[in-house]
Amino acid sequence: MEDQVVIVSGGGTGIGRAAAIQFAQAGAWVVVVGRRSAPLDETASFSDRIVPVSADLLNEPDLERVIQTANHHWGRIDVLVNNAGAFLQRPLEEINQQLVSSLYATNVVAPSLMSQAALPYLKATQGAIVNISSTFGHKASPMISHYAASKAALEHLTRCWALELAPYRIRVNAVAPGPTETEILLRSGLSATAIDQIKSEEARRVPLGRRGVSDDIATWIVALANRNASWITGQVIAVDGGLSVA
């Protein structure tokens, strides 16, 4: 990854932070993006190869600012990691239009707009897109139907974009994490008791006996972005301790 230029959305915490640090350690230059500046600054403190940009990816001027930050600093974009995401646990009878619209805006619309904005630069470098899905993008589970469906949409976007962009030698893949120790549950609005119960149940369900950590996932994000993976496209790699086959 030496001197490759990488954009990581949701780079302030969790999987995004771990990926940004691993990319920097591999020699890449990294733009980390998110809505909250303090976590982004903390991620950037790990390496002088990481540049933070506070932005709302559903806002066109912010989106353009992210792209131009990479262009201004290094004149290219080699890898886009669509990691920013939202989680929703609700039974069908309790959802509403605002909840569903917000979820899909974050998990489907924002990655689409980000990929579109980066596309001219990825064409020039024959680069790569790595989308971050979930085990539940392809495994059914109660109470998270709309979250799971939004990740299923992202997985199918991955496959469709892989075919669409193959003539430009742009590779598009996805990593599908299982239950992982990040802040996503804390930001979902669930109570501390509910979160503890979810974590305990998930750990019991995972065949390898534990929830994942961010570096488990980041390793595979970097691997798929690497040019050594130049003959892999349109794939969804499950990194979930065996949960998806349990």
pLDDT of 40 reads 98
What is 5-239's CATH topology? Rossmann fold (3.40.50)
pTM of the model: 0.93
Assign residue 23 a region (left: φ > 0; alpha: ψ between -120 and 50; beta: otherwise).
alpha
Give the 3-state secondary structure of residue 197: helix
The pLDDT score that the predictor gives to residue 189 is: 66
- CA–CA distance, 188 with 13 (Å, rounded to integer): 15
Residue 182 pLDDT > 80:
no
Least confident of 9-23, 78-92, 170-184: 170-184
Residue-level pLDDT at 188: 62
183 has a pLDDT exceeding 90:
no
Going by pLDDT thresholds of 50, 70 and 90, the confidence category of residue 187 is: low
Task: Look up 121 and say whether it is catalytic.
Answer: no
Statement: residue 152 has pLDDT above 70: yes
> Residue 135 — very low, low, confident or very high, per pLDDT cuts 50/70/90?
very high
DSSP-based helix, strand, coil % in the chain, nearest 5: 50, 15, 30
Taking CA atoms, 23 is separated from 16, 179, 213, 220, 221, in Å, by 10, 22, 17, 11, 9
Q: Which residue has the higher pLDDT, 40 or 189?
A: 40
In angstroms, how far apart are the furthest CA atoms of the chain?
A: 50
Q: What 3-state DSSP class applies to 52?
A: strand
List pLDDT tens digits, range 72-85.
Answer: 999 999 999 999 99
Q: What pLDDT sits at residue 184?
A: 67
Band (49; pLDDT cuts 50, 70, 90)? very high
Instruction: For residue range 66-117, list pLDDT tens digits in order.
Output: 999 999 999 999 999 999 999 999 999 999 999 999 999 999 999 999 999 9
Alpha carbon 48 to its chain's center: 22
CA gap 142, 65 in Å, rounded: 39
Q: Is the pLDDT of residue 194 over 90?
A: no
- Give the pLDDT band (50/70/90) at residue 245: very high
Between 214-225 and 14-25, two packed helices, what is the crossing angle to 10 degrees? 50
Domain parsing of the chain, residue ranges: 5-239
Q: What is the 3-state secondary structure (H, E, C) of 152-181?
A: HHHHHHHHHHHHHHHHHCCEEEEEEECCEC
Q: Tokens 């085990």 identify what position? A: 135
Q: Please tell me what DSSP assigns to residue 93.
A: G
One DSSP character per residue, 8-51 reads EETTTSHHHHHHHHHHHHTT-EEEEEES-HHHHHHHHTT-TTEE
Looking at 104, 121, 147, 168, which residue is catalytic? 147
Task: Output the pLDDT for position 191.
Answer: 77
- 216-228: average pLDDT: 97
CA gap 106, 87 in Å, rounded:
10
Q: How far apart are CA 11 and CA 221, in angstroms?
A: 13
